Structure 1
Amino acid sequence: MASPSQPRLIVFDLDGTLIDSSVDLCNSINAALAHFNKPPLPEPVIASYIGDGASMLVRRALGDPEGDVHDEEYVAEVLTYFLDYYRIHKLDFTYLYPGVLASLEAIRAAWPATLMAVLTNKPVNPSRDICAHFGLTPFFFQNYGGNSFHTKKPDPHGLLTLIAEASAITGQTISPAETLMVGDSHVDILTARNAGARSIGCTFGLAPQSLATTPPDHLAHTPTDWLTVLGIDPSA
């Protein structure tokens, strides 16, 4: 596919796109399961549950893949334990994917007028804390999480909100067609489609198999490939 023209807004997912957080999320889920006398789950299984927010991650770990469990009080207790544990352990093993920082710097240098933001289904406070820890915060004008709005991705509300906010900052209307969503799962690709935006799917993330059934406009096998797709020379 041809490279997209210069976007005026680039929105990044967090888990599986900017950071590999799978070990800390898996450890936190298994800590919660152990606390409630449930058997642990293998890391690949838990990793396959990531992407639709903390509540759905917990529900799936409890054996409720579609989120129809009726004991909401029990789910709430497990979710609270999971979030409390994760808040403490969210940076034990989490790391930036190699090339993320250099690629963000290259985008900023090549296109200083292009705004960037984070839109994740992870709760917003851990998302912001993680970005601050890894020095990502200065690149983004906004960082929204799964509890920032009444809906989560793939509902387009969060992405459309970012487009409206970016338009207000620039003083010029930014259209969805001038917006690029970068993520590692079908959730991110559907978010882009639902908003009318373009997408890059990251095959190095936590849910690359879902990109086969929901193909993005472009694929990136490493964060440096974002630059290739965008037509930015990484050595410039």
Structure 2
Amino acid sequence: MASTLKLLVFDLDGTLIDSSVDLCNSVNATLEHLGKPTLPPAVIASYIGDGASMLVRRALGDPEGDIHDEQYVTEALTFFLNYYRVHKLDFTTVYPGVIEAIETIRAASPNLLMAVLTNKPVNPSRDICAHFGLNRFFFQNYGGNSFHTKKPDPHGLKTLIAEASTLAGETITAAQTLMIGDSDVDILTARNCGARSLGCTFGLAPHTLAAAQPDALADSPAAWPKAIASLMHPPA
């Protein structure tokens, strides 16, 4: 049927991996470097999801980009990225059941293409996926600095759909694409593209999912295969 899924696009942080400790430690190391008070991990975790620059700005108390000393922000961001590059795998783990779930999905639908679209900078994203052996599942991994825009802008997702169509040798539509993520950013990315969405309630920002209204929910990676099967073959 025309609505059968042909492309899965996964968010990274809070969906495939739990990176919260390393991100929080890197933010607090940045604040210490700048002589500013550190923040509770729960506060920093609430800032994750819109890319490194916004994470740092929020930690500096500048969520709207009102700090006019861009050199100061650039120094903070540079320190954060350099620190995180070294420490990105200190405590980061793949969520339990992720690899098994993706293997189950792949076994059930061998031709289903998969990719990663994250707002994390692309090099750490690719390095982390390679470290944990996740990269073998994905034909592409794009980050927040891969394009001129970030999620929830649909440009990255549209690019992946076009690339998947080339690989498949047929046109894959947005309606045949599923975005899987733990926050409203991912759900809105799908909606802005005309794709479907699966919200992960176990991630870093599940409190944002209700308002975004994903097409389906999963309480754990183990629930992905069933949720995806139901979206691939909806009831008549």
TM-score by length of 1: 0.95
Q: Residue in 1 aligned with 2:233?
A: none
Q: Residue in 2 aligned with 1:54?
A: 52
Q: Percent identity?
A: 74
Of 134, 138, 141 in structure 2, the residue corresponding to residue 143 of structure 1 is: 141
1:202 aligns with 2:200: yes
Of 102, 124, 131 in structure 1, the residue corresponding to residue 122 of structure 2 is: 124
The C-alpha deviation readout for 1:21-77, integer Å capped at 9, x for no partner, is: 000000000000000000000000000000000000000000011223211110000
Q: Residue in 2 aligned with 1:185?
A: 183
Could you tell me how far apart the structure 2 residues matched to 1:215 and 1:182 are? 13
Q: Residue in 2 aligned with 1:160?
A: 158
Query: Secondary structure of 2:206's match?
Result: coil
Deviation of 1:215 after TM superposition, in Å, equals: 1.4
Q: Residue in 1 aligned with 2:234?
A: none
Q: How many residue pairs get matched?
A: 229
Could you tell me how far apart the structure 2 residues matched to 1:203 and 1:170 are? 31
Structure 1 outlier segments of 4+, above 6 Å: none
Deviation of 1:85 after TM superposition, in Å, equals: 0.3
Of 16, 19, 23 in structure 1, the residue corresponding to residue 17 of structure 2 is: 19
- Deviates most, 120-129 or 209-218: 209-218
Change (3 A) 1:96 1:143: same
Mapping of 1:50-89 within 5 angstroms?
50-89=48-87
TM-score by length of 2: 0.95
Query: Secondary structure of 1:76's match?
Result: helix
Could you tell me how far apart the structure 2 residues matched to 1:230 and 1:157 are? 23
Deviation of 1:5 after TM superposition, in Å, equals: 5.5
**Structure 2: gaps of 5 or more residues:** 231-236
Could you tell me how far apart the structure 2 residues matched to 1:6 and 1:133 are? 32
Deviation of 1:214 after TM superposition, in Å, equals: 1.1
Q: Residue in 2 aligned with 1:174?
A: 172
Could you tell me how far apart the structure 2 residues matched to 1:95 and 1:66 are? 31
**Structure 1: gaps of 5 or more residues:** none
> 8 Å contact 1:5–1:230 — kept in the other structure?
no
Of 85, 91, 99 in structure 2, the residue corresponding to residue 101 of structure 1 is: 99
